[in-house]
Amino acid sequence: MLQQYDARNADIVYWVNGNLVHRDQPGLSPFDSVVQGGDAVWEGLRLYRGAIFGLLPHLARLRRSALALGFTDIPADDTIIDAITATLRANEMTDGVHIRLTLTRGVKVTSGMDPRLNRAGPTLIVLAEHKPPVYDTGGLTLATSSIRRPSPDVLDPKIHHNNLINSILAKIEANAAGADDALMLDQRGFVAETNATHLFAVVGGGLVTPTTAACPEGITRQTVLDLSAQHGIPAVVRDVSLTEMYTADEVFCTGTMGEIAAVTVIDGRTIGAGSVGPLTSRIAKIYQEHAAANGTRLLDV
């Protein structure tokens, strides 16, 4: 699965601390912490007809992550929302948009790892692109990676950080295996998530999903759990083995960028009937309708 370039993004502008910069122009200092060491936190947002679904939970997770890393002078939610709105308006974007929101520790006075070298406050970056959900709705292929998700004593997944080398290495393996994405295990050998999304299995008419011991607390994942409860769909959060994924009736992944996407093959094994399952289709429809109707409105459409 390779994302496709959208020609509508050829002349977009992005936001860097109050400045709107053309995509072809540099807007970050080489002294910025995200360049120096990936020292930043981020969120992915999706715009539905002028509204962003889950905006406040995403901003709350961004703030928790920044606090955990000891960032100072974290901008208020209203300040971030104003920057997002300004970026969307400048690009005349109203629907079918993915937003990459990044908050770095900021610019250093000299190159180095020490956070005490950061004296200018954080850098806020807003990158909005025309981008529909990126996954093939006909079914994804996963390959289990040799790269494990780290435990909290190595790199706590509760921090939604920009240090994504772990995921990138797993994605490289998936590409080499001819798969769409990588399935990643935790340090104990249980399923954690993919390199980019959370996983659910359908077993006996209900949902099973791994704990967040070795993966972020996903906004889309939690929404699926909440909607399942509202619609009478049983759901259990627990350790899940790879064998349970192989033998599940259905498997699907969740995320802001791809919404709900079925998984039909894992490590060469066909999942269920090898096509998008009925419960996956039902949950995808429920989620899409809910997200489109319950966003925080930023633009009049």
Give tens-digit pLDDT for 177-236. Answer: 999 999 999 999 999 999 999 999 999 999 999 999 999 999 999 999 999 999 999 999
Confidence of residue 1 (pLDDT cuts 50, 70, 90): low
Residue with tokens 């998008």: 276
Domains and CATH numbers, the chain: 7-130 (3.30.470.10), 140-292 (3.20.10.10)
pLDDT given at position 154: 94
What's the predicted TM-score (pTM) here?
A: 0.95
User: How many Cα atoms occupy the beta-carbon half-sphere of 150 within 13 Å?
Assistant: 13
**Residues above pLDDT 90, as percent of the chain:** 95
For range 70-92, the mean pLDDT: 98
- Between CA 101 and CA 66 the distance in angstroms is 13
- Between CA 104 and CA 114 the distance in angstroms is 14
- Between CA 280 and CA 248 the distance in angstroms is 12
Burial of 243 (0-12, 13-18, 19+ CB in 10 A): exposed
Average pLDDT of the chain to the nearest whole number: 96
- Torsions phi, psi for 36 (to 5 deg): -65, -40
Indicate whether 136 pLDDT > 80.
no
Taking the CA atoms of residue 82, residue 88, residue 89 and residue 90 in that order, the dihedral angle to the nearest 10 degrees is: 110
Question: What is the CA angle 25-48-20, rounded to 5?
Answer: 20
